[in-house]
Chain A
């Protein structure tokens, strides 16, 4: 307890001196439209970090440890570990000298939601800056203490080296309270501060090492505390009755039977908020109590999949020649068509999808008079803080969110609805209340990846260049998918959703190109899912590239390479390398095929994939046997972690290609558990071979979602190589590939 107080006191001093208190409580949003901003209840935390933000994240402790308040949440992507290595590089630490903490919301100023594969790319700089400055502050203290000029105080592991070989550890320089950085510690110029994480690229001691995750041993022994595992001594158990369809409203409710059950403490009803929840003294009572509630719903949404497909149908939009956003319009499509020797027009479709993290979300809330505490796992704890404050009508500052490692994120945990439910139930009863979603609730009540429909019309000249490229697509807004519909409607008038469009501009040289899209809101809740639009858009582009190559009789690798601009050396390099490691161009046995695809995630991370598929006609199976991947994501902080992320992306790519599909019927999700929403299983998972290009002089770029996008088209292209059949709709399986409707 004492320690916590000490931290928050330093923090108050830190904030006061630095004047960031004000900055910390203001949510800086990308939306500068004043009217809209005031109407939006709460928004995800979106401001990118500034270099000096790093000051708040590092502290030196008197026991010699460096405490690192990690500004990235952990969901298995491992960026907190990479950031620890950056701290270690600056402060000359070994791994055991760093105490990595996922901070509570009252321990550090706001930081951005953990999304977009930015953990290292955007946080390298502020973390390195803060850690380097802490080192120099410690050096000054050491110099003063020893009565020496600073230059005489040399670096050493975990501290400094003084003349005559005397070692002094950091701990000896910190009296009792943690040593923190203040705004007046800011160096005269940022350039003047030596940055080991940037400078000593040829003699890194921590960066580039495959450190094992600090939680690894806890995970394999079952000791890690996920949000679902937290409990408090007098904790009660809550569950909320979920609406049967999107947007259905409570018409009338009778809870007498539920109230009469032994163990039920209270039934909380708020018709205005469409909320009915149970608080009980045992979790075992909850299912029966929920079942005993007699409620009449007013069903407003009976939407089904056909209607959805119709409203997101690219052909309809093309027939009306009506697209909201033009992403590119270069050259002259008509003139290009005249030069085309081999033209292809094709439609590609991808499905609605769910995150399906194995840990369904959970929240524990304890609402007291002056303090509200929440324990949860979220990609945006500060958004949870705001939403909880809103839900129980309290000041944002009264709410503290304690963050836990998440059992998978994938974009699906920007909000933690279970925490809001727990807070409402705790506010009503004054007891700590735990709400755990089950699998069905998780499938029905979160947001989804929207389906995409694409139409591409393109051609190749007789020199093998791309004569024209006309790409239209329709999907739903993703980045602003969570705003209330009334605001969304206004928003859509003034902005195009960049998340939906991610990855839709091809990397290839095209003089004549047009790319248009519409982002259409439907009643289906939509939000971030791994890579946003990048995987669906790359599926369309890289499938079409394969179709163009085959129609022109050019090898698909060669066709890609000859159409890359000279500025795309890094993409060309990963393509060459993947061809090498996979033995591209070899003869393949019957019913076996190799496919290639590539992309540059967020225009920074170059990835090339080769997939090998085999068609087993006896078993009626389409098997992905092996995937090769080469990735260039700049300087690699931890090769082992990066490879683990790539493997995850490859498994996701196979899963998207072969398995995943959410459909809606009568206003509700049809898939409620893993027998109907199938994700890739172990037995279907391919052998994976990964090579990293590690240019140590290039900045670290996005990893967490990068290798995902080209996987599905590589598989589809491999199926074509094996069978001559084009897969243009995902997910694919043996039956739909070999039925006529498969293409």
Chain B
């Protein structure tokens, strides 16, 4: 069995087939940017994209991924041919969002998928879309500003 992560097929060893996608990404694929926070789908630290839709990798089994493609924070910028940062990452840098930073890959993945669907969100829509991602350090205000900035700078093209 193979699954595709960040554009590359990775073969799944037998014992990882019924593991969570999060454990597979971190401990098998060795991509540590996707974080464990709660293991119960409550915090969003483990957010990745599965076929461009945000998903909580702690709640998905490897065998459920099938032939869909998985994107992690490490692969996000690759979607943007222009540079080393995805526009959402760029906005995060401009607004200096992170404190400890641990929740931020998940926040960015959620925001990128959201803006892909809704490139022109209202403040209220941003709040709703980001509600599932906890930030204990309390960076919510800057996250809102960064999402609004990424939308305003308009580099995100709605694909669907």
Binding site for B on A (CB under 8 A): 75-78, 210, 212-213, 215-217, 219-226, 228-229, 231, 282-284, 355-360, 405-410, 436, 438-439, 640-641, 644-645, 647-652, 655, 673-675, 679-683, 685, 687-688
Contact = CB atoms under 8 A, between A and B. Distances in A.
A222 B40 contact: no
B98 A358 contact: no
B154 interface: no
B38 A282 contact: no
A648 B23 contact: no
A77 B19 CA distance: 35
Contacts of B85: 217, 220-221
Q: Is the interface of B mostly helix, strand, loop or mixed?
A: loop
B66 interface: no
Given A212-B96, A405-B100, A439 B32 contact: no
A673 B40 contact: yes
Contacts, number: 171
15 contacts: A216-B96, A219-B105, A220-B85, A220-B92, A220-B98, A220-B105, A222-B34, A223-B74, A359-B100, A644-B99, A679-B136, A682-B135, A682-B140, A683-B127, A685-B141
Nearest to B31: A222
Contacts of B74: 221-223
A647 B142 contact: yes
B15 A408 contact: no
Q: Name the interface size band of chain B.
A: 35 or more
Nearest to A223: B33
Contacts of A650: 138
B40 A674 contact: yes
B32 A282 contact: no
Given A219-B101, A358-B134, A681-B134, A212 B93 contact: yes
Contacts of A685: 127, 138, 140-141
B96 A680 contact: no
Nearest to A231: B30
Contacts of A76: 98-102, 137
Contacts of A215: 101
Contacts of A408: 100, 102, 136-137
Closest 3 pairs (CB-CB, A-B): A222-B33, A651-B138, A407-B102
A650 B138 CA distance: 8
Contacts of A283: 23, 27
A289 to B, nearest CB: 14
B128 A219 contact: no
Contacts of A682: 127, 130-131, 133, 135, 140, 143-144
A644 B146 CA distance: 14
Interface of B: 15-16, 19, 23, 26-27, 30-40, 42-43, 45, 72-74, 76-77, 84-85, 89, 92-93, 96-105, 108, 127-128, 130-144
B73 A221 contact: yes
A413 B42 CA distance: 22
A687 B85 CA distance: 28
Nearest to A687: B141
Given A358-B45, A406-B100, A407-B100, 16 more contacts: A76-B100, A213-B98, A220-B89, A222-B31, A225-B32, A284-B15, A359-B102, A410-B136, A439-B40, A644-B96, A647-B140, A648-B139, A651-B135, A675-B40, A682-B143, A683-B130
A648 B142 CA distance: 11
Contact of B136 (A213, A216, A357): A357
A358 B102 CA distance: 7
A439 B38 contact: yes
Contacts of A355: 136
B131 A674 contact: no
Contacts of A680: 138, 140
